[in-house]
Amino acid sequence: MLATATAAACRRQGFEVRLYDLPAFDVTNPDHVEPVVKTADAIINCAAYTDVDGAESQSALARRVNGEAVGRLGQLARTQGKWLLHISTDFVFDGELDRPYVETDRPHPINEYGRSKLAGELLLRESGSTHCLIRLEWTYGPHGRNFITKLVERARTSRTLNVVNDQVGSPTATAEVAQVLCTLLGQRAEGLFHFASAGYVSRYDLAAFVFDQLRMDVELKPCRTRDYPEAALRPLNSRFDCRKIQAILPEPIAPWQEPLERFLREL
């Protein structure tokens, strides 16, 4: 989902882009990764195991993809003298703070997916590579499934939907993320950054916005996360403070409504 949008954005800005993906390319296979790193000027790692609930029963696989592979990539980038940009997640936090998370807040993941992503962050730092680490949240886009597309799919078969109203964050379009990644690439930025669209909304109010924009007749019923049990726990507070990355971006971060309206028109 993100890699496709990023490749398109980078090409528009004049970068020569090569995409690598399964099944021909496996980020956990050193024989696949090493020659790619050697021939690249810079690397953006969008590869990830993203099945949050699946990671509870496949924690070893999640750790290999999200943790060990990232550490190995960092080591190769260091030995080859290459700049590396890696993508992480709000799920490294437990969501218990009563304010938006800043980059210096201590991570405390509450599920296997979050633990595997945090392992990748730590191994990347330990690698000694020149790198940039960016945490994202609530991403959606035209490629792949996400909360927005799942909502619309469910609404086509059921006119009554229960949606949690105690998870709060910022829906963030991959198109917006891609532009930010291009900026980081152009600057060869280093360090840890949080990025999300401006403003915050609950999952419930987000669903109401989506169906209003699409003019779909759907009855929404609010529920609590604890009333809708899933295999993996979810952080309730996914809000990011994005002032650090805003300081190096050429334009103000757009409110979440604007890119979502564009996405829904295309959808």
Over residues 64-100, the pLDDT tens digits come to 999 999 999 999 999 999 999 999 999 999 999 999 9
pLDDT tens digits for 201-234?
999 999 999 999 999 999 999 999 999 889 999 9
Confidence of residue 109 (pLDDT cuts 50, 70, 90): very high
Tell me if 181 is assigned to some domain.
yes
Q: With 90 as the cut, is the pLDDT of residue 6 above it?
A: yes
- Cα–Cα distance, 15 to 188 (Å, whole number): 13
- The pLDDT-based confidence of 198 (bands split at 50, 70, 90) is very high
Q: Please, what is the angle between helix 257-266 and helix 147-157, to 10°?
A: 50
In a domain, 246, yes or no: yes
Partner residues linked to 222 by β-bridges: 163
The total domain count for the chain is: 1
Residue 33 in domain: yes
> Are the C-beta atoms of 76 and 117 separated by less than 8 Å?
no
CATH of residue 111: 3.40.50.720
- Dist CA 187 CA 130 (whole Å): 13
Measured from the Cβ of residue 116, the count of other Cβ atoms closer than 10 Å reads 28
Residue 47 sits in which domain range?
2-144+172-199+238-259
- Round to whole Å and give the CA distance between 133 and 103: 10
d(CA 237, CA 91): 10
Backbone angles phi, psi at 227, to 5 degrees: -85, -5
- Output the pLDDT for position 197: 98
| Peptide bond connecting 23 to the previous residue in cis, omega within 30 degrees of 0 | yes
Q: Is a pLDDT exceeding 90 seen at residue 267?
A: no
Q: Residue 54 domain-assigned?
A: yes
Active site residues: 113
The mean pLDDT value for 174-178 works out to: 97
Residue 213 in any domain: the answer is: no
Q: How confident is the model at residue 145 (pLDDT cuts 50, 70, 90)?
A: confident
Residue 144: per-residue pLDDT? 81
Has residue 164 been placed in a domain? Answer: no
Residue 214, Cβ density class (10 Å: 0-12 exposed, 13-18 middle, ≥19 buried): middle
pLDDT classification of 44: cutoffs 50, 70, 90? very high
For residues 168 and 102, give the distance between their C-alpha atoms in angstroms, rounded to a whole number: 16
- Asked if 123 and 95 count as a contact pair (C-beta separation under 8 A), the reply is no
Question: Does residue 25 belong to any structural domain of this protein?
Answer: yes
pTM: 0.96
